[in-house]
Structure 1
């Protein structure tokens, strides 16, 4: 510095040169910043991991919503079915993914149950929630048309008289697993609980006579009801469904057990808030305002129901507490 001060002319030249250089750098940084702010997420296709097999209600609901969200986001949403371990194989893949917004998981309450039942050491709170999109109150128990019981009350009565004789399909650690534990606890019935895989696998098992009862979404098996191949024993809701007014609730039949299934979307931890918000806002637009989507999804006997990340977290906190208490009471 002292050398520069002793050579005034050189000093002025150097300072002027540095000033020009700094100004140029500042201009470049400003330009880069503007470009960063102007760049729009998403700029590439988004992989949607469905932790369930193709053909089930999770897969169907996700593909339906993704189809409409592509119009809002302007990119493709590519569905990847990743089965295994009650859904935990798929959720763990997303949990460990780069938090860049280009991989998201679409799942439901089973993520909570995976943790409660000991399949995972993480839960919904470890992800960046994008929100809830669908509410399913059509959870039902299906049997073949030839079954000797026509409703849940008769099925429970038979199961109590014949402990372990009623083979009920589920997937260990999944949503229907806790339903069965809760109903056994409530009624004193004893089922033979069979791990038959995902939704489509359980339906195949029932059609093939490998199991007697399949807990599933009523909207998913509507065609089998209409064809006379299956019948519903009731739904695990507080009220009958408008779409199936003749199907009674379990509560009506003296079985005080209800379950709603909420379908959520979540990103890996540390995904930028602006990315999550962009995705969530697109979801809100479709679920709330797109009448074509609302009509299509409602035809599956589920409800289009948007909740933003904060609302979703609150509901899942309450649900997690309920499931935890319920599981503890069945142990």
Structure 2
């Protein structure tokens, strides 16, 4: 009887010991997983920019990436992935492993790609991390010897001479949408010419092949300062603090306000805690003196929007674009 009792006691002790070791192992594993998540990032983060090097998307992203490196403690490596109006790059992020080491940096064109059928997804199919800058410096520029000195002169001439004013764009892009908005608002008809991306449009204006180029002030700052280009107005509610001499379109009778929203987003299944870490770093970066000084050199507005605010802003812009597309379809 005593022998049987000893065996039972020994067996129970062994089971208890095994259970304790198992619990410790599970605890250690859980702690390891927690530490792995809280230790993000542990390696460089690849930033996909669906645009060429040297444009405003690329430059704005690099400024933000540099500021965020100080907060995250790891490099943010910018990779330019061009093609198909930005869809090649956005698709790359959408299909990437959702581990926090591939992030998208893009803007309103992602919304247009869905509207124009270039993609079957939009920003809401990713996990938005936030916005670090709003570009309110969208403008129409002309050469120094242009017949137009302001928006009013441009509109008056275009009304009297339908399709005689040549405007450069990239069909399906933000600038294309701006042209359609002005036509819808004023009743003018431009001669819309697809010349390619930002640098192509500038080259076309320098060569006298077009009359007007829609762009951002920061991209043509050198030409404006040299006097080679003239900005007819900015599509903002108020004159820009760093460009007070350039009137708004609204002041000149055209009710047009355009915000270019530079968003950052991860693959949809990226863990919330990783996105939260990234978002917090973005918030701190935007508040830093260095970032604000650098981004303002391009006449941009350093504005932080958290994921919820960013998604709301993008939803509003998307609704405006969809309505305009339906009104102007076939133009």
CA distance in 1, matches of 2:142, 2:157: 14
Provide Cα deviations, 1:139-166, integer angstroms capped at 9, x if missing partner. Answer: 0011111222112222222333333232
More displaced stretch, 274-283 vs 201-210: 201-210
CA distance in 1, matches of 2:167, 2:119: 24
More displaced stretch, 172-181 vs 267-276: 172-181
Kindly state the Cα deviation for residue 178 of structure 1 after the two structures are TM-superposed.
0.9
What runs of 5+ residues in structure 2 fail to find an aligned partner?
none
Asked whether the 8 Å contact 1:54–1:200 carries over to 2, the reply is no
For 2:292, the equivalent position in structure 1 comes to: 294
For 1:172, the equivalent position in structure 2 comes to: 171
RMSD between superposed Cα atoms in Å: 1.7
For 2:262, the equivalent position in structure 1 comes to: 263
More displaced stretch, 104-113 vs 147-156: 147-156
What runs of 5+ residues in structure 1 fail to find an aligned partner?
1-5
Kindly state the Cα deviation for residue 198 of structure 1 after the two structures are TM-superposed.
2.2
1:132 and 2:118 matched: no
For 1:3, the equivalent position in structure 2 comes to: none
Kindly state the Cα deviation for residue 73 of structure 1 after the two structures are TM-superposed.
0.4
Asked whether the 8 Å contact 1:50–1:81 carries over to 2, the reply is yes
For 2:222, the equivalent position in structure 1 comes to: 223
Provide Cα deviations, 1:226-284, integer angstroms capped at 9, x if missing partner. Answer: 11211111111121112111111111221122211111100011110000000000000
Kindly state the Cα deviation for residue 205 of structure 1 after the two structures are TM-superposed.
2.5
Kindly state the Cα deviation for residue 45 of structure 1 after the two structures are TM-superposed.
0.6
**TM-score normalised by the chain length of structure 1:** 0.93
For 1:186, the equivalent position in structure 2 comes to: 185
> Between Structure 1 and Structure 2, how many residues are aligned?
325
Asked whether the 8 Å contact 1:100–1:271 carries over to 2, the reply is yes
1:22 and 2:19 matched: yes
Please identify runs of 4+ aligned residues in structure 1 that moved more than 6 A.
none
More displaced stretch, 147-156 vs 7-16: 7-16
For 1:311, the equivalent position in structure 2 comes to: 309
CA distance in 2, matches of 1:30, 1:209: 71
CA distance in 2, matches of 1:191, 1:22: 78
| Structure-to-structure mapping, 1:45-84, within 5 angstroms | 45-84=44-83
Provide Cα deviations, 1:93-136, integer angstroms capped at 9, x if missing partner. Answer: 11111111111111111111221222221111111010111011
